């Protein structure tokens, strides 16, 4: 640590960042990476006038480790809860994987969450694709005359949502009465 750095200023900065972390945790349930980014942005916005900038990443890291040790932040639980909520909204397993990666979650937690979903659910991608079709009003919900016209568009929607070609094709080939029966089961 730099001897010219004022200890009072250091303590004040640490206290302010810790308070910001607590207030952020009250409102949201972030991952470790999201909290680090938030604190760094707040530091750059509010406290960037302080003389010492080298130690800010160390301060933020210590705050996050302290919160993790006190069980305020848990990336494993975060991964499980986010994966389940995304599945309910009609996300594919590929999209869930990518979304959690973008939030800074370790791959071991992501694969654990996805394996739990696969174990609990029967064909989670198929069920999610059904939900997406209902939500976006594509596939079997379209009038029979328009289904062929919009087939490529519907296939593109499902592909961008992360569903495989086989699942997309299976969903789009369902008849309306079959689709309605499957939606009622879900």
Residue 1 lies in a domain: no
Write down the pTM of the prediction: 0.82
Domain match, 113 and 148 both? no
Residue 2 lies in a domain: no
Which of 47, 55, 64, 111 minimizes the C-alpha distance to 83?
Answer: 111
- How far is it, in rounded angstroms, from Cα 36 to Cα 30? 10
pLDDT in the model for residue 52: 60
Residue 36 lies in a domain: yes
pLDDT in the model for residue 47: 72
Take residue 114 and report the two structure tokens written for it.
Answer: 């996805």
Domain match, 175 and 150 both? yes
pLDDT in the model for residue 144: 86
Residue 163 belongs to domain spanning: 124-185
In terms of residues, how long is the chain?
186
pLDDT in the model for residue 37: 93
Residue 18 lies in a domain: yes
Print pLDDT tens along the chain (186 aa).
454 456 777 788 888 899 999 999 999 999 999 999 999 998 888 876 655 666 788 889 999 999 999 999 999 999 999 999 999 888 999 999 999 999 999 999 999 999 999 998 889 999 999 999 999 999 999 988 889 999 999 999 999 999 999 999 999 999 999 999 999 987
pLDDT in the model for residue 4: 44
Identify whether the C-beta of residue 149 lies closer than 8 Å to the C-beta of residue 116.
Answer: no
- How far is it, in rounded angstroms, from Cα 166 to Cα 126? 10
pLDDT in the model for residue 62: 92
- Domain count for the chain, please give it: 3
């Amino acid at each position: 640590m730099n001897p010219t750095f004022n200890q009072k200023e250091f303590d004040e900065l640490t206290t302010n960042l810790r308070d910001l972390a607590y207030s952020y945790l009250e409102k949201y349930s972030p991952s470790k990476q999201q909290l680090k980014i938030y604190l760094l942005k707040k530091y750059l916005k509010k406290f960037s006038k302080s003389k010492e900038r080298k130690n800010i990443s160390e301060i933020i890291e210590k705050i996050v480790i302290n919160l993790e040790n006190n069980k305020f932040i848990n990336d494993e639980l975060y991964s499980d809860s986010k994966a389940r909520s995304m599945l309910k909204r009609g996300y594919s397993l590929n999209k869930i994987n990518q979304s959690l990666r973008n939030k800074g979650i370790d791959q071991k937690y992501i694969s654990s969450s996805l394996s739990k979903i696969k174990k609990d659910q029967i064909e989670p991608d198929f069920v999610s694709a059904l939900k997406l079709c209902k939500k976006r009003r594509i596939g079997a919900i379209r009038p029979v005359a328009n289904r062929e016209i919009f087939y490529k568009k519907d296939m593109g929607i499902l592909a961008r949502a992360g569903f495989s070609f086989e699942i997309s094709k299976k969903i789009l080939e369902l008849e309306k009465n079959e689709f309605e029966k499957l939606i009622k089961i879900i």
